[in-house]
Amino acid sequence: MDPAYEPAELAKVLVFRGLPSSEHDPKGYARNQSQKSHWENDPRVTVEHRPLTYRYQYTAEGRRATSADGRWIVTGPAEEKGVDVMCALAFVREAYDPQVDIVVLASHDTDLIPALDEVLLMGSAKVETMTWYDTTNRYRTKQLRSKLRSTWNTRLVREDFDACLDLKDYTSAS
């Protein structure tokens, strides 16, 4: 091991994701909850959910339309709203913690750049980013880049992506 690089210990993994509605997508909801439970068997992992947002069909009178069974009629796919804000807040909070030496942001969502800039300005923790890197098309790779200064970026290639896949079948909640 190079003495210039001290070993780091992974102390915490925070996952932020949208949660399907138990009413509109009961199977998706159950799979998501089962996966959360499975991942959180590792005491370092915390999964934080934010309910997905749904768009509804409306009647001519402006009320939500209902199907024959009395359920609201959903139009289009559900959307994640506010998950990036949850991630940004946690990123800043973790970097501000004096017990934290390194914060790694694994995302390509450019909405997180202001949080990245804020953490770099604070200077309280080292910052790294992670990117899925497509070796066949390097121009498609999105990397979070601060305008303040460069940060260390770890590029994960296809083999790394495949090694991270969760292959467990969550179709039956267990």
Q: What is the pTM of this model?
A: 0.83
Residue 104 tokens read as: 């790694």
Tell me 139's DSSP state. G
Higher-pLDDT residue of 154, 34: 34
C-alpha distance from residue 123 to each of 87, 98, 103, 154 (Å): 19, 11, 11, 20
Residue 77 tokens read as: 């796919």
Q: How confident is the model at residue 138 (pLDDT cuts 50, 70, 90)?
A: low
Q: How confident is the model at residue 145 (pLDDT cuts 50, 70, 90)?
A: confident
* 46-71: pLDDT as tens digits: 999 999 999 999 999 999 999 999 99
* Single-letter residue type at 129: T
C-alpha distance from residue 1 to each of 4, 10, 22, 58, 83 (Å): 9, 18, 49, 63, 38
* Alpha-carbon span 59 to 120, nearest angstrom: 50
Residue 161 tokens read as: 């992506």
Residue 6 tokens read as: 């001290």
Q: Is 87 exposed, middle or buried (0-12, 13-18, 19+ CB in 10 A)?
A: buried
> What pLDDT sits at residue 60?
96
Q: What does the pLDDT average to over 71-98? A: 94
> What pLDDT sits at residue 174?
47
* Alpha-carbon span 141 to 164, nearest angstrom: 18
Q: Taking 90 as the threshold, does the pLDDT of residue 8 lie above it?
A: no
Query: What φ, ψ does residue 83 adopt, rounded to 5°?
Result: -65, -40
* Alpha-carbon span 87 to 112, nearest angstrom: 8
Q: What does the pLDDT average to over 124-130? A: 89
* Alpha-carbon span 12 to 165, nearest angstrom: 19
Residue 133's nearest CA partner among 141, 145, 125 is 141
Higher-pLDDT residue of 130, 51: 51
- What's the residue count for the chain? 174
Q: Taking 70 as the threshold, does the pLDDT of residue 37 lie above it?
A: yes
Residue owning tokens 């260390």: 152
